[in-house]
Structure 1
Amino acid sequence: MLDAPDTAPDFTLPCDDGTHVTLSALRPAPVVLFFYPRDDTSGCTREATDFTALADDFAALGVKVFGISKDSLASHEKFAAKHGLTVPLLSDADGTVCEDYGTWREKKMYGKAFWGIERSTFLIDGSGQIARAWRKVKVPDHAAAVLAAARAL
């Protein structure tokens, strides 16, 4: 399982703004990747809006923030428009990046097992090393905790 100080796996994914994002091309900027289960669900909406609310604070530190799920770009576009999200959303439709980061996991709900994205966040420093990893994220105050960690880089 990835953790500090592992090297963050590189990737190129399509973004809801029509571009493609390559992680290694963002260096030397620090990067936050928050993996979330599904667009327009209550916890995912709260997490994305919390990161959006702090977007200017992350930008002031030079930190790039991206949300990642397996949802399609069309779904991301609707989600962003509906909730006024400014944080770029990346589509990992085939799940490769989720697997590389260890977020595609077996989950259980109401006694049933299924596979899905485990809510996780990675703070990656300017050299491409994972500075901090959060697993099984609880949404309240999470974005603020990630911002505090980014300030300490």
Structure 2
Amino acid sequence: MNRRNVLAGIGMTVVAGGGALASGAFSQVEADRSVSVTTAGDGSALLQFDVDDSYNGIDDTGDGVVALTFQDINQDAVTTFEGALTVTNNGSDDVSLSASNVPAAITFTDANGTDLANGVDIPSGGNSANFDIEIDLVDNSEPSDQDITFNAQAQSN
């Protein structure tokens, strides 16, 4: 066999092997990338939380925290703060909003009576949902200090 035929044979083997191995398919990739995240205050956020601070004990602290600091709530009573929390969806996708880590004595309900712990849908385009805050000290003890988490999941339109 001459040298030209051997090189041609090796070249064809490399091309054929490269075609099988370099098909563009892969099963796993790991790469480090930079991510830039910006935040906005609730006044200009896509999901805006507003409180009716005319109620004693409900306050927007200005640092992204809605504070419920009730003192001297009636024992053995159910106290309701109507329309105390408004959530506005300024985004382009509908949002499913829920709350977690809510003490048993506190309930957030919308105008339809839906408990925020079960999830409430808020349509896009500046639509709002108003929530009553109810504190039930008939069936529950006074709640201790804890953080309540609001969870928002965008729904593709």
Between structures 1 and 2, the one with greater strand share: 2
Greater C-alpha radius of gyration: 2
Q: TM-score, normalised by structure 1?
A: 0.21
Greater helix share, 1 or 2? 1
Choose between structure 1 and 2 for higher RCO, CA contacts under 8 A separated by at least 6 residues: 1
What TM-score results when the alignment is normalised by the length of structure 2? 0.21
